[in-house]
Amino acid sequence: MRSFQKHLLIGGCLFSFSILLVLPQYFSGGIILGPDFLFHYNRFYDTAMQIKTGNFQYFISTYGFQQSGRIVNALYGPIFAYLQGLLLLLSKTWYNYQIFSRLLLNIIASFSMYFLLRTGHIRIRVAVPIACFYLTTFSIQDWTFRQGFTSWGAAITPLALIPAFKYVINHEINSIKLALCVALLLQVHVLSTILLVITYIPFFAYGLLKSTSLKKDILKISNAIFLFLLLTMNIWTVLLAITHSNNLILPFTNRHMYSYSVTERGSYWLFTSIPLTVIIIFLFYHSIKKWNNYPPFIKSCSINFFIFSLLSTSLFPWYLITKYQIKTLEIFQFPFRFFVIVTIFACILFAYFLSNQLSKGNDKQVYVIILLVVFVGFSQTMTLLNKKYEKWMTSNRPLKNLSTLVFNSKNDSRIHNSLYSTDLTSLLNLVQKKTPDYLPSYHGSTKKNYELYGHYIISDNSRFTKAVHNNTLVITWYGKKKKIISIPIIKYYNTCLILNGRKIMERRRQYCVTKIGTPLVTQKKGKNTLVVSYNIGNWFLPIMYLIIITWISCLTYIVLKLFRRFKK
């Protein structure tokens, strides 16, 4: 019973701190909109309306992104997008969604970090406050201030590091748990998964070198990789299928990566919060000084801490990466993204130091340090949040600093009120963004994708009526005469078009497409109807069944194992 009460107290502390961080928004009624809000809000609105209406379309956007039929969610955490869509439906307004999504993120991140610290044998008295402090860092607050999806990856990454910790500390490999952790992260955020795999290298390299059962360990890791591939087939099979038949426009290549490190324009990652900056400086000194006294587990953490610290700063020659166009590193776009891993390992190493100090009887000093770190981090975050909310409530044009936006209303109060309205589509109609990510590129590449999207999709959209029936997108319009026009939807290789009851095909030269994939069709005089759907092929449905069965089987195994442990 005492153990249950202890766990209840720990959970209560983490829940309470998670709630405290969202209270300023609840009481002020303020909202923060960053540069990525429209991209993700369109994604989640699309899945929310699919759930609400029952018109499911896994591949193309039938509600979000101007109902353009473009592929986004299928390539960007599709399952998690449906969960976010469900949360949006329950929230009813965008304002409520911001509060509830932040609260959910805080809860996941705090428990994830706590479990990781406890796996590293960090004392509870240190693990709980450091897990709370983690919420005040920009790795988690990126979702609050910029709607950066990196935060969701940062929330789950500590949980995904647990199998690596267990391998070095206890020489324990559980293939199912390892596969589930990495698969869960991939279902949320692909880039975070790539970073996670890199962090695994020091842990598993050491574990394999010191292993007394090398063949057995390699077999378990191989089994984990195979199971991981099964659990994520909906992502990598779709990615291969779509990229094989389409030349996709990928997210832009940042030619100024050097400028977006934590020592340049991305300095807010380093200084939010201030205690993190002090901790990092201290850890560089302490890790070098005490390196020989570190156990292998902490040495592996330190290696990752050093490597990712270098990658996140301008000390790394990012200008050479862009100069010689090294594609494998260009995909990261912004070096400050590496700082998520720096933050996680800084929390681990600092918690290890504090836990050791408790063992030496320095309780008072440790409690003072912990109190200062958490209090200053919390106060700084609250101050920044309140300033942003005050700006939202008092500014005439709170979105004026965001580029690539298209405003369909000059009435700023309408835009302001749309975030509190139960009509979720109101905001997405009033404010739109020219984002060409994952569009198909035809007739060669072009540097004017943003302008072309604005012209062919956003500007033309008002002339057409779009609706969703039986999982298909139905577009209607009236033509004054027979002529060729551009339809504001995106045509991929497997997109099916039925114009006025007849299926039209490019190979028969019944239509052609613009540079970003909008079809040019011949309208008739009077009412025209174009039905848009997507045909991935008969192979996809069996794969989805296999994925669902695999996830249910693995989760059942974990639950049964936890139940047996609890029973003992």
The stretch 187-196 carries a mean pLDDT of 96
List pLDDT tens digits, range 410-451. Answer: 767 888 899 999 999 999 999 988 888 888 888 665 567 888
pLDDT of 254: 76
Percent of the chain residues past pLDDT 90, beyond the cut: 75
Cα–Cα distances (Å) from 183 to 143, 235, 304, in that order, read 22, 10, 21
Q: Is 483 left (phi over 0), alpha (psi -120 to 50) or beta?
A: beta
Report pLDDT for 394.
84
Under 8 Å CB-to-CB from 431, ≥6 apart: which residues?
38, 399, 405, 406, 407, 408, 415
**For the chain, which residues make up each domain, given as ranges?**
2-30+93-391, 458-534
The pLDDT value recorded for residue 159 is 97
pLDDT score, position 139:
97
Residue 361 CA, chain-centre distance (Å), reads: 42
Tens of pLDDT, residues 132-191: 999 999 999 999 999 999 999 999 999 999 999 999 999 999 999 999 999 999 999 999
Residue 360: the pLDDT is 86
Tens-digit pLDDT profile for residues 18-37: 999 999 999 999 999 988 89
**Per-residue pLDDT tens digits for 85-120:** 999 999 999 999 999 999 999 999 999 999 999 999
Alpha-carbon distance 565 to 563, whole Å?
A: 5
CATH fold of the domain at 458-534: Immunoglobulin-like (2.60.40)
For residue 195, pLDDT beyond 90: yes
For 360-424, where are the alpha helices, taking DSSP H only? 363-394, 412-418
Q: How confident is the model at residue 323 (pLDDT cuts 50, 70, 90)?
A: confident
DSSP string, 50-69: HHHH----SSB-SSSGGG--
List b or e across 418-450, with b for residues whose CB sees 16 or more CB atoms inside 10 angstroms. bbeeeebebbbebbbbbbbbbbbbbeeeeeebb
pLDDT of residue 499 exceeding 60, the answer is yes
pLDDT over 90 at 228, yes or no = yes
Whether residue 550 has pLDDT greater than 90: yes
Instruction: Return the residue matching tokens 């202890």.
Output: 6
Handedness of CA 63, 67, 71, 77 (dihedral sign): negative
The band of 402, judged by pLDDT with boundaries at 50, 70 and 90, is low
Q: Which of 229, 148, 159 is nearest to 191 (CA)?
A: 148
Q: Which two tokens stand for residue 45?
A: 């609105």
Nearest to 98 by CA among 430, 377, 424: 424
Q: Higher pLDDT residue, 250 or 550?
A: 550
Residue 563 above 80 pLDDT?
A: yes
pLDDT for position 509:
62
* pTM for this model (two decimals): 0.94
Cα–Cα nearest to 270, from 383, 136, 380, 138 = 138
Percent of the chain with pLDDT over 70: 96
Average pLDDT over the chain reads: 91
pLDDT (mean) for 333-337: 91
Distance of CA 72 to the CA centre of its chain: 13
475 has a pLDDT exceeding 90: yes
Mean pLDDT of 510-530: 88
- Who wins on pLDDT, 396 or 10? 10
Q: What's the length of the chain?
A: 568
Residue 1 has pLDDT above 60, yes or no: no
Task: Look up residue 437 and give its two tokens.
Answer: 């990510």
Residue of 321, 334, 340 lying closest to 139 (CA atoms): 340
Of the ranges 217-231, 297-311, 459-473, which one carries the lowest mean pLDDT score? Answer: 459-473
